[in-house]
């Protein structure tokens, strides 16, 4: 789960960097004029749409990862409880065995 969180964080950082670069392009586009300015404006709008789409996809992936984690956690709970009961019984038996050895 930690590796997935780190991957998501890396992607979010990348999207933040892209946003900052778009802002730089916007400033450059304001200085450009004529056909070049129009072309820069179009590219900026396209980049914004792509960034927005990526952000939505990342949010959807994060939601799905969390949902799957919760599902897996719920599925494992009964098994973990049963394992804890077995461990408790084993420790009790071990304690009884140690008592028996030292009581001789």
Q: What is the pLDDT of residues 34-60, one digit of tens each?
A: 777 778 778 888 888 988 898 898 889
8 A C-beta contact, residue 19 and residue 69: no
Q: What are phi and psi of 100, to 5 degrees?
A: -65, -40
> In which residue are the tokens 């946003």 written?
19
Listed ranges 5-19, 27-41, 88-102; the one with the highest mean pLDDT:
88-102
Per-residue pLDDT, 4: 61
Do 26 and 44 touch, CB atoms closer than 8 A? yes
Q: What pLDDT, on the 0 to 100 scale, is given for residue 99?
A: 87
pTM of structure: 0.56
């Amino acid at each position: 789960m930690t590796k997935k969180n780190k991957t998501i964080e890396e992607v979010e950082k990348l999207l933040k960097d892209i946003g900052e670069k778009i802002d730089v392009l916007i400033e450059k586009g304001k200085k450009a004029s004529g056909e070049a300015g129009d072309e820069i404006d179009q590219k900026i709008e396209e980049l914004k749409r792509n960034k927005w789409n990526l952000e939505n996809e990342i949010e959807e992936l994060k939601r799905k990862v969390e949902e799957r984690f919760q599902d897996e956690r719920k599925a494992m709970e009964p098994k973990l409880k049963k394992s804890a009961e077995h461990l408790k019984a084993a420790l009790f038996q071990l304690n009884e065995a140690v008592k028996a050895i030292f009581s001789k």
